[in-house]
Structure 1
Amino acid sequence: MKCTGSISRGAGAEKHNTRVCYRDEEHTPENIDFERRAQNVVLVNRSIEEVYHTSFGAALQEYNAKQVAKGHGERQIPDYLAKVREGKKLHDMYEFVVQCGNMDVHPDAEICTAVYKDFLEGFRARYGANFAVKQAIIHMDEAVPHMHLEVVPVAQSKRGLSVQNSMNKAVTQSGHGDYKDMLMGWDEVLTGAMKEHGLTRIIGDKEKQMGGVDIDTYRRTKQAVKTSEDRLECLQQEIEEVQPLAVTFGESARTLWKARSDGDREKGFGVEIESLRERISGLERSNQRAREYKGELDRDIDRLGERVRAAREGCAALRERVTQLVQRARYVPDRVSEYTKEIAARLGKRVMDRLGVDLERARSAAAYYNRTHGVSQRGRGIDR
């Protein structure tokens, strides 16, 4: 028989696995058949306290003794399980769901039970030193028989406890490079167990691996089915509503056809069709013109934007130039006075007299500028 096989992470719900929280059918989730609970098979069911005591008890005792010997009794760990649970990086245990087949095709309960027992035996032989089995329970009361496997990582360490909970170290010490590679090793154990019982493992649709899904996934799947059924019902109603219209339309068409018994039926339909075509063409042309006009407006807006930016830059340059000219104009009176003295010294009084008129004009212009621009006359008068 060909069927799928899978090993996936579980949620770690101990009470769900043992079914102790489902005391009657009313309090049992929809994905569980309450009447078949008795068919479930418990292979291993140890308390987590027992697993920690067996796996880490000796190492914890040794660690605490060393701390006392060093004079650091305050560093002792009274409860290693509590310390692991308080940490943010560690999990006190890990759950995995082992499954043969899917909702469409899966072996019967007897074969599944045999496969899971062989898998557990092979798992313990190959990985038992680094993964202590806390719980292994086969569920027969759900869609597909599957097994919940809870394990605690057990690894050797040079720091802290000599034996401690560490998934990364357990993966490495079990002979694998990483977590994904480790799961591939577990898959090999499952494939071998399936083969021992005449099952050929194939790759299947993961969406159909519904045996060990949580109740939320089950409800989502059930809701999706209900939505599809409701949609189908709506479509059927729509078809029923449209059928009378189709009959009415057919009768109307036949009536119209008979009414045009003068031989112009084809011609009349042709005229109507041509009229519709012309209207459609007119609308398309209008739409095209609107698109072209919009494109022109967009281009005009871009050009105006460029001109506005250029004008702003030009205004800024002019404003800077005017400021420079104003600053230079404030020193006109002093410069005129200096030039006049130099010319008078070289050319004599006659030249000075001729420049007097120009000097007076410059003085008047400077005074007017100073009055209109609020420039102080102190220290800037023209030498007489």
Structure 2
Amino acid sequence: MDMSISLKKDTRKTNIKHNNREFTERGKERNDHIDFSKSDRNVYLVKNDLRELYEREFGAAKDRYNEKQQRRDRKIEDYYKHVQQSKKTRPQQEMIVQIGEQDQFQDNEANREMAKDVLQEWFQDFQQRNPQLKMYNAVIHDDEASPHMHMNFVPVATGYKKGMDTQVSFDRAIKQQDATLNQTHPFEDWREREIGFLEEKINARGIDRELVGTNDYEDMNDFKAKTKELQDLEQQIEDKQAILEPMKEFEQNFDRIISQTKEKRSMGFAGAHRVEMPKEDYDELHNMAYGSFKIKDQYERMKFTNGQMQRDLDRTKEANDNLKEENEQLREDKKMLQKENKILHRAFDLLKEQFSNQKQQFADMVGRAKGKAVESLNLKKYPTNLKRDDEQKAMNQVFQEKQQERQQQQKKSRGRGPDLGM
């Protein structure tokens, strides 16, 4: 079985009461797409106050900024309102995460439970993977057509030189927490990595990811244009054929005119024949003949052009079929590259973890060496400017070990009693 994975920004105005199903009776009537008899199956993962989160994450930065301001009108009283009034960024971000399509959940409770389990497992490590995306609300809805998750968080970025040193910024936050992201399109890269973690969860259950939303074929617009042009041309041919219909009437009129004429033989010029007819009949016959030749010529031209268009369309269809095959191969290649990319990211994470462990081991070794040096030199205090936080724990262990040795020696000395020289 294949299932699609969707993780997208919700560009609409966030409605936390809607997400948390805090409706009045009138509100329930307006949301008739929700089956409120199943709302008890929703899973509420995080429910915190947004204003409290702002105070916790930005309060100290706001105070530091205000202390530097000489003018009262430049101070920020409420950073949340300050961001709300700004057109540069949003106070928070909402993401909607979904696995599968609606038809895969109709009358299929097993799929619904599986999707909810996958979303919960993926969410458990989300904050650890994204320490600068501060979650304040997260819920899985199981009372709509398909299970899906709403996540609301505040992206916290640091290190600003202008304004507050800590501010709201999605792109900067995710780039700071993961320096390997694409610097030009960080969101797309971040999104694909998170989808990769979701894909792992469904793969573990024997489900492959279905790729949806791919671009149309490159020449599809040209193909459609040629098809439309051919249809227009065929319509013109039908119109011309309709014009040719009066030719039948012309034949009938021609017979009538001939029957009304008188053929007279002239005795001169080798017995040449001359036909006499009324002028109005002659004019009518002449106009009909001229018109028929003109229409026939146009008709033949249209048939020739139509043949060319049909051949062009056949070539375009063939090219389009080739593009379909190439596109299918590209989809397979993309799927393979995504798997390889996932392996590379995991390998990189393992290397970072291994390097971090080795770095700490080295710091512990240096810390112990420094601790022993301090003890051997009988220093009362280690120079502050030489202290390193990652070495301090190992140094303290050395000091404790030496202290324990001295205490044991003192106990042994007291146990032997005074030496009387006997």
- Is residue 2:144 matched to residue 1:142? yes
Using the alignment, how far apart are the partners of 1:163 and 1:287 within structure 2? 84
- Is residue 2:114 matched to residue 1:111? yes
| 1:58 CA displacement | 1.9
Q: Secondary structure at the match of 2:68?
A: helix
Q: Secondary structure at the match of 1:7?
A: strand
Using the alignment, how far apart are the partners of 1:82 and 1:25 within structure 2? 27
- Is residue 2:294 matched to residue 1:289? yes
| 1:126 CA displacement | 0.9
Check whether the contact 1:132–1:153 (CA below 8 A) recurs between aligned residues: yes
Change (3 A) 1:284 1:57: farther
Change (3 A) 1:73 1:278: closer
Change (3 A) 1:155 1:26: closer
Using the alignment, how far apart are the partners of 1:76 and 1:187 within structure 2? 41
Using the alignment, how far apart are the partners of 2:58 and 2:64 within structure 1? 10
Check whether the contact 1:24–1:34 (CA below 8 A) recurs between aligned residues: no
Using the alignment, how far apart are the partners of 2:196 and 2:292 within structure 1? 66
- Deviation track 1:338-384 (CA, whole Å, cap 9, x = no partner) reads xxxxxxxxxxxxxxxxxxxxxxxxxxxxxxxxxxxxxxxxxxxxxxx
Q: Secondary structure at the match of 1:137?
A: strand
Using the alignment, how far apart are the partners of 2:210 and 2:83 within structure 1? 39
| 1:134 CA displacement | 1.7
Check whether the contact 2:6–2:98 (CA below 8 A) recurs between aligned residues: yes
Return the match for 2:129 from 111, 126, 129: 126
Long gaps (5+) in structure 1 = 207-275, 294-384
Change (3 A) 1:144 1:279: same
Using the alignment, how far apart are the partners of 2:128 and 2:250 within structure 1? 80
| 1:28 CA displacement | 4.2
- Corresponding letter in the other structure for 2:143: D
Using the alignment, how far apart are the partners of 2:293 and 2:60 within structure 1? 86
- Corresponding letter in the other structure for 2:38: R
Task: After TM superposition, list the pairs within 5 Å mapping 1:2-17 onto structure 2.
Answer: 2-10=2-10, 11=12, 12-17=14-19
Check whether the contact 2:157–2:176 (CA below 8 A) recurs between aligned residues: yes
| Alignment correspondent of 1:195 | 203
- Corresponding letter in the other structure for 2:57: S
Task: After TM superposition, list the pairs within 5 Å mapping 1:35-54 onto structure 2.
Answer: 35-54=37-56
- Is residue 2:93 matched to residue 1:94? yes
Change (3 A) 1:26 1:168: closer
Which is bigger in relative contact order (C-alpha 8 A, separation at least 6)?
Answer: 1
Task: After TM superposition, list the pairs within 5 Å mapping 1:220-235 onto structure 2.
Answer: none
| 1:147 CA displacement | 0.4
User: Identity percentage over the alignment?
Assistant: 29
Return the match for 1:171 from 157, 171, 174: 174
Change (3 A) 1:286 1:146: same
| Alignment correspondent of 1:310 | none
Change (3 A) 1:48 1:168: same
| 1:189 CA displacement | 2.4
Check whether the contact 1:122–1:189 (CA below 8 A) recurs between aligned residues: no
- Corresponding letter in the other structure for 2:51: E
Using the alignment, how far apart are the partners of 1:164 and 1:33 within structure 2? 39
Check whether the contact 1:131–1:152 (CA below 8 A) recurs between aligned residues: yes
Change (3 A) 1:146 1:278: same
Check whether the contact 1:97–1:146 (CA below 8 A) recurs between aligned residues: yes
Farther-moved stretch of structure 1 (52-61 vs 15-24): 15-24
Long gaps (5+) in structure 2 = 215-244, 252-287, 299-422
- Deviation track 1:122-178 (CA, whole Å, cap 9, x = no partner) reads 221111x22111211100011100000112111012322121101231132133222
| 1:21 CA displacement | 2.4
RMSD across aligned positions (CA): 3.1
Change (3 A) 1:44 1:25: same
| 1:91 CA displacement | 0.3
Larger Rg over CA atoms: 1
| 1:65 CA displacement | 2.3
Task: After TM superposition, list the pairs within 5 Å mapping 1:1-384 onto structure 2.
Answer: 1-10=1-10, 11=12, 12-23=14-25, 27-67=29-69, 71-106=70-105, 108-127=111-130, 129-156=131-158, 157-175=160-178, 176=181, 177=183, 178-204=186-212, 279=248, 286=291, 289=294
Using the alignment, how far apart are the partners of 2:290 and 2:8 within structure 1? 62
